[in-house]
Amino acid sequence: MNNPENQSVEELLEKLKVDSKKGLTEEEVLKRRLEFGENVIPSAKKRTTWDIFISQFRNVIVLLLVVAAAVSFFFGDFFEAIAIIAVILINAIIGFILESQANKSMDALKELEQPNSKVIRNATLTHTPIQDLVPGDLISFEAGDLIGADARLIEVNSLEINEAPLTGESLPSSKKTERIEEKVTIGDRTNMVFRGTSVTRGNGLAVIVFTGKDTEIGHVSSMMDEAQAEELPLNKKLDKFSKTLIWLSFVIMIPFIGIGLLQSKELYLLIETSIALVVAAIPEGLPIVATIALASGMLRLSKKKVLVRKLAAVETLGGTNIILTDKTGTLTENQLEVVETSPERNDTNSYDKLIEIMVLCNNAALSQENKHIGDPVEIALLLWAEKVSSGSVKQLRGQWAETKEIPFESETRIMTTFHQAGKTTQASMKGSTAEVLKNCKYYEQDGLIIELDEKAKSYWAEQTKLLSAKGLKVLAGAYQILEQSSLDKAEELILVGIVGLQDPARPDVFEAISECHNAGIQVIMVTGDHPETSRAIAENIGIFKGGQNLVVQGKDLTFGENENSELLSASVFSRVSPEQKLKLVEYYQSRGFVVAMTGDGVNDAPALKKADIGVAMGLRGTEVAKEAADMILQDDSFSSIVIAIKQGRIIFNNIRNFVIYLLSCNLSEILVVSFAAFLSWGSPLLPLQILFLNIVTDVFPALALGMGQSNRESLLEKPRTINEPLLTKAHWKSLVVYSMIMTISVLGVFYYSSKVIGLEEFQTNNVAFFTLAFAQLFHPFNLIKRGENLFTNGIIRNPHLWASIIFCSILLIVASLFSPFKTLLALNFPSEDMWLLIVGGSLIPIPLIYFFKILRIID
């Protein structure tokens, strides 16, 4: 079935072989269900428990650790192998538990109820589950009903549909049955209703033309499947980083064995030492520390009503430099309200009369549970009346009894009601200012009734234009007290005034967008709404900056060779289709931006999945949007995104700090072992001692660095580029200097204890081990940035760091005093002379590194 909106009702019914009064027979329904299938949207394949667990091992560093464990088993170093496997399993279990909990929270958000549709079959109106609908079914609906499939309208009575989940428009769409001649977008298919939308006013009858995957929502779902989820930037950086470590391991091991063979050393000893070097090259603690650092951020965000479905997504938000955001329900309240009126409230008589008109000429109903019934515009008018005077709606409707209604029609654009109070009959009219003016002979001003001349008409037209320019929906109100001889005719009405309604911005949005701009993040509105409305909201919440206020419409969007030159400078895109949202995400990603996409509607889902970070709304968001997202805002607050961005930046800085810490510690171990071996000085470190340093004493300070909180200034820095590596050249330079200084210090005390004071071999080994261990425990203080206050910086103020230093110091002492640790690690508690060497050697790097920073050799 192609373009049903371009076909007449008669043509369509004939093609679908259905009677417009009787509907389909049960026999025909069964045939069509076999042909077209159930009316269900294929859902994305759910991640099983096993998938989540296995995904924890899809990490290059974890694979390196597996290889290291296998090699250790092969050479009989069983304790070493078991220790490495324990590290792998602990990391996997932590990640598995947290991601599983996020998935369970997602399941809890899902709505389990399957709604019904009213269907005419065999000339009988029945209630049928939505999944049982088939093409050709006649469906009947009224205010409050959900539409179960895409259908062509046959009959309408003042029908209005809320299509926000599909188009993003906050105002309901008026519907009609007439055939549409030209090809139009979804939002302009006024003779169609779509699955997932809801009836806000009136009633109608329609014939189903598309079900399941063939509906508009089904197409969006298919686009989601085609939109490959972008790998998180942090995962890309860690994988690239890990591959560098693999090459580094080979670069270290192969020359070491080659030189050793030339020196006629035993092959077994060379291989054992090479394993020690490989173990030193791999930061075994990195997966655990990275997982826990991300998990701590994830838990902190959960307290702020932000549900993160993937650990690494927390950090990716920190690198975001563009946020593409939907308007309705994300930046705005998705609830219309009266924001301006003419006359204003100080003109009591006319103002009160305007309220009376808008209450009487109104079919909506308010409820105490905020589950109001009716058209959103009419609900907003009643809420306005109640805000001005509580109980006024009940009082006015009790005073005036409705006798007749001329419903709103899209052609006339006005609604008229007739009410009686005692012997007085009043006609009340509301609608488009231009159409209301055509029915008015007078207007009211300061309690006076004045003839409506051309000058007055121009005045009210200009007032309407001013409000419309602000993005407001404008309605005019008029009345007439009728004579007994013409109780059903209103031809000489008195114009009282106009009201301007708007879906207001959320109260915290302006500040949140300002913070985004200060943090170097561009916020771009992408909506299906009208350009004037979009521009007004954008101006109100501060999206435009630098004096530009460019709004690009969907019909003007071009990509590829004929690319629109204004794309990069635009801050608002209006009347945009789901396909165009997806292309915008791809466009910015191709330009090197890290893109976050926020939204709540079905129309947002493909772009949410494709974006580097998809952020869905938890309260108003559709299930399709939530499934596509990496992160869900459970309070629907845009400002929560800013909180998440701050947390992401903190986490990335922390990850960078502990990677520098771990690698500089590991490199110092490599250099100590390598230089000692080349110089034939013996073994300052044994393989199991290196492993102990890597997975015990190194991990806890690194973990403490991962739990740190950055200063406010770091949040105002420009976001890093997507191509910026985890460690820049400046970081590598600092890392090498840190390692060299620690190496020189350790080898210095090792040489002094062996060659000068003549300690035994196991004692010199212990001196080197403890010197390096404590130098590494003190090493976090070397990471204080040049220019930061030595006593008030984030590292000094990190209580976790001080606790980790004390804890690891105790572990080192325990390992030297008690079996089996002292036996396995070949350790003894050092003598007093040895402690002097250890303490001196471990503290020397701190002033030396600080001196290098003063000279600006390193950062």
R_g of the chain computed on alpha carbons: 36
Contact 401, 456 (CB under 8 A): no
DSSP-derived secondary structure letter, 58: -
**Of 622, 625, 634, 561, the residue nearest 597 (C-alpha):** 625
Which one-letter amino acid corresponds to residue 396? L
Distance of CA 483 to the CA centre of its chain: 61
Q: Which residues have CB under 8 Å from 671's CB, separation 6+?
A: 739, 740, 743
Contact 317, 644 (CB under 8 A): yes
Burial class (CB in 10 A: 0-12, 13-18, 19+), 481: exposed
CA distance 252 to 245: 10
**Of 423, 425, 399, the residue nearest 482 (C-alpha):** 425
CA distance 810 to 510: 51
**Of 254, 475, 259, 495, the residue nearest 378 (C-alpha):** 475
DSSP-derived secondary structure letter, 828: -
Residue 142: its H or E element: strand 138-142
> DSSP per residue over 181-243, as a string?
-S---GGG-TTEE-TT-EEEEEEEEEEEEE-GGGSHHHHHHHHHHHSPPPPPHHHHHHHHHHH
Catalytic-residue membership of 137:
no
Question: Using omega within 30 degrees of 0 as the cis cutoff, is the peptide bond preceding 820 cis?
Answer: yes
Helix (H/G/I), strand (E/B), else coil: 377: helix
Both structure tokens of 418: 């007739």
Helices 311-318 & 639-678 angle (0-180, nearest 10):
100
**HSE-CB of 238 using CA atoms within 13 angstroms:** 27
Contact 336, 172 (CB under 8 A): no
CA distance 388 to 729: 64
**Among 77, 145, 214, 326, the one annotated catalytic:** 326
CA distance 332 to 328: 5
Q: Which residues have CB under 8 Å from 8's CB, separation 6+?
A: 179
Which one-letter amino acid corresponds to residue 264? S
CA distance 172 to 156: 15
Residue 102: its H or E element: helix 78-109
CA distance 364 to 381: 9
CA distance 656 to 733: 14
DSSP bridge partners of 551: 572
Q: Which residues have CB under 8 Å from 173's CB, separation 6+?
A: 160, 161, 162, 163, 167, 187, 190
**HSE-CB of 211 using CA atoms within 13 angstroms:** 24
**Of 792, 815, 763, the residue nearest 755 (C-alpha):** 763
Both structure tokens of 151: 């259908």
By annotation, the residues acting in catalysis are: 326
